């Protein structure tokens, strides 16, 4: 017998996943989560240093924050401001999509009740509650971008 | 060509399509593409075309099929990039002149379009997809009454009972691709179908398997499984309902 | 983590997620109307005034603990899904717990000390 049974699975069809919003949101949630987790570590260390590890003073604060912020680049905004702005954007999308997932999986909001089939059959990711959720997520993110841009660059 | 029957005119078109078939060769351990030109009518399916290829052009093409009417689940394959049932897909409705046919992803190939479904069935078995009663002998020895079920109780799980175990959802799931040990949408939908059945008393026995990293928690709601299911089973919904039960501690709806 | 059911870990992940939406919202809202002014020590809505605000400081404490749990559990899930074998899994668990404890201690020390200004 020259035939041998395969040990590797057939490769997946990437085209199937590249055109679904849910698939992109899943990747985004993971990637933004990783970035935000690293940011949390950095931010806690920076702020704790700036607060003098329990001995807060104006001098320590201003020296550390001045160092971290970097030079001014856009209007009143420093380099540090831009970075924090982008992080805040990540938080907005991660948070809005996360709330959608939590409401769905913990409270069952937006999950259709199983029913007898009506035709044409529409799978639950394509039914209207999911679409409402996604539009809400987009709306929340847009509002957030407007407010954040004002606070960072204009205020 | 058209036929007239009691005033009903049915238009049957003919056309020639090119089928590009990705075939696994167990001798070399690699894949190769074969091209076939087949003439089909607008009433025929991809399965009809493959069988026509087998009988008139290339008898070595290996295909799994059985009922040819969408109920046995044997002929699932990736057609034009999407896992579908070959017997329910018509070349005329796909909209392309060249039709790509590949074996199911995420499963090990045996030959040509045939894949090894053992791992898929093992995972299905691991969720105990049968009616479990506290008294094991009850169903077999004490047959004095039937188990009562109202219409509402039936509808709680009916949708998920339509599964024909074709493997399309398993093939479409990105988390199955990333996690070799993930149970997959079919097994989890089956776990929900049996746990939500009011006649079943075995939910706690299934918990250990589904409440694990390789159970529901590998699912991150990409929803592809529900989008490709040919029977409208909606495994994504079943998994979310399972997660809700696990998080809130309340057993699935009865 | 053979002692805790995955659903318990995920339940707290979701609860801290909801808590974070609220307290992060407060943390970000305190940057209004100007981010630059809110990070100066002595400006009108500046750091010194934020430290004096007991309600805000309570929110920041909650933020520290909720964010640490949420981020560490999320990171752990991410890393374990890379499936690199048994040693990797144990190493991830150890590093995550150590990192979590570290962040909580550093943050608590700094914040408790900062409360002295009140």
Which residues of chain C are under the pLDDT cut of 70?
Answer: 1-3, 118
The percentage of residues in chain A with a pLDDT greater than 90, rounded to a whole number, is 42
- Residue C105, pLDDT score: 95
The class level of CATH for B8-116 reads alpha beta
pLDDT at A2 over 70: no
Better pLDDT: C80 or A20: C80
pLDDT single digits (tens) B224-251: 999 999 999 999 999 999 999 999 988 8
Q: Cα(A22)–Cα(B148) distance, rounded to whole angstroms?
A: 40
Domain of A84 in residue numbering reads as 21-154
CATH of domain B118-248: 1.10.1060.10
- Residue B38, pLDDT score: 95
Report the number of distinct structural domains present in chain A: 1
Neighbours of chain C (3+ CB pairs under 8 A): A, B
pLDDT at B58 over 90: yes
pLDDT at B169 over 90: yes
pLDDT at A98 over 70: yes
Task: Look at residue A47 and tell me if it is in a domain.
Answer: yes
Kind and range of the H or E run holding C106: helix C86-114
Q: What kind of architecture, by CATH, is found in domain C6-117? A: Up-down Bundle (1.20)
Q: B197 pLDDT band (50/70/90 cuts)?
A: very high
pLDDT at B4 over 70: no
pLDDT single digits (tens) B117-152: 999 999 999 999 999 988 888 877 877 778 899 999
The percentage of residues in chain A with a pLDDT greater than 70, rounded to a whole number, is 96
C44 touches chain A (CB under 8 A): no
- Residue B181, pLDDT score: 92
Task: Look at residue A138 and tell me if it is in a domain.
Answer: yes
CATH of the domain at A66: 1.20.1300
- Residue A97, pLDDT score: 93
- Contact at CB, A10 and B115, closer than 8 angstroms: yes
- Residue C3, pLDDT score: 66
- Contact at CB, B82 and A101, closer than 8 angstroms: no
Task: Look at residue A26 and tell me if it is in a domain.
Answer: yes
Task: Look at residue A6 and tell me if it is in a domain.
Answer: no
SS3 letters for chain A? CCCCCCCCCCCCCHHHHHCCHHHHHHHHHHHHHHHHHHHHHHHHHHHHHHCHHHCCCHHHHHHHHHHHHCCEEECCEEHHHHHHHHHHHHHHHHHHHHHHHHHHHHCCCCCCCCCCCCCCCCCHHHCHHHHHHHHHHHHHHHHHHHHHHHHHHHC
Q: B83 pLDDT band (50/70/90 cuts)?
A: very high
The percentage of residues in chain B with a pLDDT greater than 90, rounded to a whole number, is 82
Neighbours of chain B (3+ CB pairs under 8 A): A, C
A33 touches chain B (CB under 8 A): no
Listed in order, the ranges of chain B carrying CATH 1.10.1060.10 are 118-248
- Residue B5, pLDDT score: 61
pLDDT at A121 over 60: yes
Averaged pLDDT of chain B: 92
């Amino acid at each position: 017998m020259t035939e041998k049974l395969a040990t590797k699975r057939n490769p997946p069809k990437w085209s199937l996943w590249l055109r679904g919003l849910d698939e992109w949101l899943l990747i985004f949630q993971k990637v933004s989560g990783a970035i935000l987790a690293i940011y949390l570590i950095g931010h806690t260390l920076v702020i704790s240093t700036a607060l003098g590890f329990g001995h807060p003073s104006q001098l320590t604060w201003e020296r550390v924050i001045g160092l971290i912020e970097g030079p001014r680049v856009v209007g009143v905004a420093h380099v540090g401001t831009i970075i924090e702005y982008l992080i805040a954007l990540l938080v907005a999308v991660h948070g809005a999509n996360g709330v959608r997932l939590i409401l769905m999986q913990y409270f069952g909001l937006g999950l259709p009740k199983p029913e007898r089939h009506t035709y044409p059959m529409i799978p639950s990711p394509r039914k209207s509650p999911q679409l409402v959720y996604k539009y809400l997520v987009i709306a929340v993110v847009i509002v957030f971008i407007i407010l954040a841009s004002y606070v960072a660059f204009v205020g | 060509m058209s036929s007239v029957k009691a005033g009903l005119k049915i238009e049957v078109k003919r056309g020639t399509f090119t089928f590009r078939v990705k075939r696994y060769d167990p001798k070399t351990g690699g894949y190769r593409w074969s091209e076939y030109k087949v003439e089909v009518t607008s009433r025929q399916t991809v399965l009809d075309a493959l069988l026509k290829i087998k009988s008139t052009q290339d008898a070595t093409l290996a295909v799994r099929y059985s009922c040819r009417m969408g109920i046995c689940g044997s002929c699932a394959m990736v057609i034009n990039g999407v896992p579908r049932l070959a017997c329910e897909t018509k070349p005329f409705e796909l909209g392309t002149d060249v039709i790509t046919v590949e074996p199911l992803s995420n499963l090990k190939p045996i030959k040509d379009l045939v894949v090894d479904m053992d791992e898929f069935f093992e995972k299905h078995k691991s969720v105990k997809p049968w009616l479990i009663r506290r008294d094991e002998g009850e169903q077999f020895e004490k047959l004095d009454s039937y188990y009562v079920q109202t219409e509402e109780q039936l509808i709680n799980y009916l949708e998920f009972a339509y599964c024909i175990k074709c493997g399309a959802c398993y093939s479409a799931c990105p988390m199955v691709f990333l996690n070799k040990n993930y149970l997959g949408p079919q097994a989890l939908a089956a776990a929900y179908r049996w746990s939500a059945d009011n006649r079943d008393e075995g939910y706690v026995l299934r918990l250990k398997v589904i409440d694990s990293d390789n159970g529901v928690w590998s699912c991150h709601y990409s929803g592809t499984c529900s989008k490709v299911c040919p029977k409208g089973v909606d495994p994504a919904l079943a998994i979310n309902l399972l997660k809700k039960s696990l998080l809130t501690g309340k057993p699935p709806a009865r | 983590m053979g002692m805790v059911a995955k659903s318990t870990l995920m339940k707290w992940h979701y609860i801290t997620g909801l808590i974070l939406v609220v307290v992060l919202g407060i943390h970000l809202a305190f940057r209004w109307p100007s981010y630059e002014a809110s990070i100066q020590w002595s400006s009108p809505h500046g750091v010194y005034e934020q430290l004096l605000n007991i309600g805000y400081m309570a929110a920041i404490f909650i933020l520290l603990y909720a964010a640490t749990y949420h981020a560490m559990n999320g990171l752990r899930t991410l890393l374990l899904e890379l499936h690199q074998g048994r040693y990797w899994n144990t190493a991830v668990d150890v590093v995550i717990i150590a990192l979590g404890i570290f962040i909580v201690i550093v943050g608590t020390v700094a914040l408790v000390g900062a409360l002295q200004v009140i």
